[in-house]
Amino acid sequence: MANNSRKADWNPRSEEALKDQISTYDTMRTQCPVAWSDYQHWTLFRHGDVMRVLEDHHSFSNAASSHLSVPNGMDPPEHALYRQVIEPYFSTQAMSEFEPTCRNIARQLVDTLPSGQPFDVVDLFSRAFALQIQCAFMGWPDSLRAPLREWVLKNHHATLSGDRQAMADVAHEFDGYIHDLLETRRQAGANAPKDVTTSLMKETVNGQTMTDEALTSLLRNWTVGELATISASVSILLNYLSEHPDLMHSLSIDTNALSDAIDEILRMDAPLMSNRRVTTRDVEMGGKSIPAGEKITILWASANRDEEVFGDPDAFSPQQNREQNLLYGAGIHVCPGAPLARMELRVLMEEFLAAVDTLKHAPNEQAERAVFPTGGFSYLPMIIEKN
């Protein structure tokens, strides 16, 4: 059990840390790479320590939550059974079939962006894209977009506050949406829509159809991960390209370089800040003794900027850094939806770059960074000029 009387090494929720999280993490990585706090418990800042956790399934468990989490919160061998079910939904063929829908959504959304006047990238572009693309991929009705948008905001506020009752209420609200989606398909029977959600309802694990509890957990994890990280990724990408117009110009000419460039930009500025693990035995890390049963925060936002692995963390080197980039994790728990996320971001940026000549921060407007546990921006005012 966590010892709440121990002295904190840092305060991840201090005003200074939240004002510039990247700089704070860079400093902690060199000064106290394994740090205790009441909020994050044991935080790992270095790439090597994170890789150790990802590879040592006997010492570090994914079952860090008291609630069912499919498949994120599962360990081998149970984890592998669910991954076998999930991975075909993100196959090369599945991505090729979904890409035209994705491109149509991206193109229409880019077309709606105002030219020559300020707009909030988060509200009009990144969050809108994440909501539309998630509903399209899952086969959910457009009418669910607005409730999901509000739900994402509630989920973020509840997580940020650490209010367990609020978090439970938000989870219950989402479960209600999923229950309705599943019930609608059951009542439709053979006339149920032929989509990802209907297909998942027919999947079996160890010869048994997935329970509604498992299905709801799986769909909740997919939705939280997709909506939060895709939205954060888009805001990060546009912010970076606005500050590097030469790169934006070169990528608009050579879109073959776009996929690696996206991964590299998101290495430097993480859309997904962290994940959790729990120790199953006493371990030594970074000169610290961590007892069994302690929660570990894997801080992707720091590990992916480790100077010992990447040199200058802000140097744009896509090919050089590709193999060590932990944007989608590593090992057996690498994000199963990575092919979908990569395709969605590539297609969106292809459509954006094809339509936009210039991208600049709106004058006299101040962007606002999102704060842990969310990456990216909460407000990003920009001006584009379309061609």
Confidence of residue 1 (pLDDT cuts 50, 70, 90): very low
The whole-chain average pLDDT of the chain stands at 94
Task: For residues 248-267, give the mean pLDDT.
Answer: 97
62, pLDDT greater than 60:
yes
Tell me, yes or no, whether 79 lies in a domain: yes
Confidence of residue 247 (pLDDT cuts 50, 70, 90): very high
Is the separation of the CB atoms in 48 and 296 below 8 Å? Answer: no
Task: For residues 164-173, give the mean pLDDT.
Answer: 84
pLDDT of residue 281: 97
3, pLDDT greater than 80:
no
Confidence of residue 2 (pLDDT cuts 50, 70, 90): very low
Task: For residues 243-258, give the mean pLDDT.
Answer: 97
The structural domain count of the chain equals 1
pLDDT of residue 373: 82
Tell me, yes or no, whether 2 lies in a domain: no
Quote the CA–CA distance of 340 and 345 in Å, as a whole number: 9
pLDDT of residue 5: 66
Tell me, yes or no, whether 7 lies in a domain: no
Tell me, yes or no, whether 164 lies in a domain: yes
Give me the CATH number covering residue 368. Answer: 1.10.630.10
Tell me, yes or no, whether 251 lies in a domain: yes
Quote the CA–CA distance of 184 and 176 in Å, as a whole number: 12
Residue 361: domain span: 15-386
Confidence of residue 153 (pLDDT cuts 50, 70, 90): confident
Residues 66-117: tens digit of each pLDDT: 788 899 899 999 999 999 999 999 999 999 999 999 999 999 999 999 999 9
Number of H helices, E strands in the chain: 17, 14
Tell me, yes or no, whether 57 lies in a domain: yes
Apex CA 347: angle with CA 196 and CA 225, to 5°? 50
Tell me, yes or no, whether 19 lies in a domain: yes
Quote the CA–CA distance of 354 and 336 in Å, as a whole number: 29
Task: For residues 235-260, give the mean pLDDT.
Answer: 97
Task: For residues 204-210, give the mean pLDDT.
Answer: 92
pLDDT of residue 372: 86
SS3 5: coil
Task: For residues 2-24, give the mean pLDDT.
Answer: 87
Tell me, yes or no, whether 1 lies in a domain: no
